Amino acid sequence: MTPFPCAGHRALWAPTRREFIYSLGASIGSVALTALLARNAAAAITSTVAGPLAPKPGHLPAKAKNCIFLMMEGGPSHIDTFDPKPKLAALHLNEFTREGKMKSAMESGKRYYVQSPFKFRKCGQSGADMAENWEHLQRVADDLCFYRGCQVDSVNHPTAMYQMNTGNRFGGDPALGAWVNYGLGSLNQDLPGFIVLPEVSYPQGGAANWGNGFLPAHFQGTPLRPKGSPILDLTPPAGITRGHQRQNLDLLAQLNASHHAAHPEHDELAARTEAYELAFRMQMQVPGILDFDQESAAVKESYGIGSDATDAFGRKCLMARRLVEKGVRFVQLYAGTWDSHDYIERAHGNLVRNVDKPIAALIADLKQRGLLENTLVVWCGEFGRSPDNGVRGGTAYGRDHNPKAMTIWMAGGGVKAGHVIGATDEIGAEAVDCVHHVRDLHVTLLRLLGLDDNRLTYFHGGRFKQLSQFGGEVIKELIA
């Protein structure tokens, strides 16, 4: 890691006295001190010209400038979606004793292998494996890059969700979207750089899944509510004009500036002031983005809007396309819950039906508009599922949690379309080829966006921290 902030992120680092002394100890003396003072002077000037979310250059040539992250909360089963295991048909309902220490807290009773209730087919010219109930996604199979080698550490939902979203199982660290927002800024100063489209019920672990952690508050995810007004109080009260609002904000800014001058170490106040200003600008932008009447009937139908099963997620996918079109850097969509411990045929069948058409439409729509090349789309859960039964027996079988095997797919943004990278063993219990920890996946996603994990650091708690926690490697096989 570099001892000082990297170029392109200078305006974001204002060291405290303790950090200043620490930096001197890690430097090469007066040369480093001179450089640090110059950086701080430049930061003071820059902060008066551009806000904290102003666009910044990355460290490396980028293959993508936006990211849409499709989070299937609950742990979708790779064995029943994109990673067929014929061996399980021969082992179906054979009892066994599970070995090893990584066990689900819900494991009980007899263990027996379970075959997938879904048939699979080869799709596209690439021959991608998909369960047959992916009726629409198979049409864009050649745009997808499937990765079967990722592993995580946790067998429980909240900690696994934190690790997939933030790199840290225990929460409190910045989300991937926050790091991207910090590293690159936003392409639209009238909208947040990191927007989240959650379910009505937040995922396990709550809003910390898109929090800013120890980064300044500017970089946290902004959730848009799925029902009613997307953001509370977006519309001013009756009788209050934009002129009134502008006068109120100007007065508030004067008071906050006076207080901040006396307490410059309180970056939360500056973040809140900027949040007020951003909210004011969003009043003009958000209603237009949410106005789906601007879209043709054919486009809305392609996303499944108007149909009971697909309407909710279809609206999220269409909104995600409109947001990246407007320059939002990172958009995360949630669909849950995929935690199918029993009745997996019915549960996963319904869940696939809910997201299949909207996701296929999103990929096709981005491609048709020339956006897919610069937009990285990621589909994943927090872990995969086991090849054996869940908590019930008989014909109501499901699957347990499995952090050692999962399927992630990506599209656009410089990934190797039409390929399957990595593999799991013959029953889908563990990744065995091109195996990488999730930290390497994070490093790879950053690299596709033009960011170097080892240079994208922030001083906190006595050391420089990064998304990967302590470094990782790019999964070169995923990059075209």
| Spatial distance between the Cα atoms of 226 and 203, rounded to a whole number of angstroms | 14
The residue type found at 425 is: D
pLDDT band at residue 34 using 50, 70 and 90 as cut-offs = very low
118, two tokens: 């879904």
pTM over 0.85: no
**Pairing, β 222-223 against β 150-151:** unpaired
Residue 48 confidence (pLDDT): 38
The residue type found at 4 is: F
Residues 445-468 as b/e (b if ≥16 CB within 10 A, e otherwise) read bbbbbbbbbbbbbbbeeeebbbbb
Which percentage of the chain shows pLDDT scores above 90? 64
Residue 234 has pLDDT above 90, yes or no: no
Give the largest Cα separation in the chain, rounded. Answer: 74
**Section 218-240 average pLDDT:** 69
Residue 283 has pLDDT above 60, yes or no: no
Residue 180 confidence (pLDDT): 98
Each residue of 349-401: pLDDT tens digit?
999 999 999 999 999 999 999 999 999 999 999 999 999 987 665 567 889 99
Residue 26 has pLDDT above 60, yes or no: no
Average pLDDT of the chain, as a whole number: 84
Residue ranges of domains in the chain, CATH in brackets: 66-233+282-478 (3.40.720.10)
171, two tokens: 């929460």
Residue 14 has pLDDT above 70, yes or no: no
Each residue of 306-323: pLDDT tens digit?
999 999 999 999 999 999
**Section 225-250 average pLDDT:** 60
**Section 69-85 average pLDDT:** 98
Following DSSP, what letter does each residue of 447-479 receive, concatenated? HHTT--TTTS-EEETTEEE-TTSS-----GGGB
Which one of 14-18, 338-342, 421-425 scores highest in mean pLDDT?
421-425
Residue 84 has pLDDT above 60, yes or no: yes
Each residue of 402-431: pLDDT tens digit?
999 999 999 999 999 999 999 999 999 999
pLDDT band at residue 23 using 50, 70 and 90 as cut-offs = very low
Residue 326 confidence (pLDDT): 92
Contact 6, 59 (CB under 8 A): yes
pLDDT band at residue 266 using 50, 70 and 90 as cut-offs = low
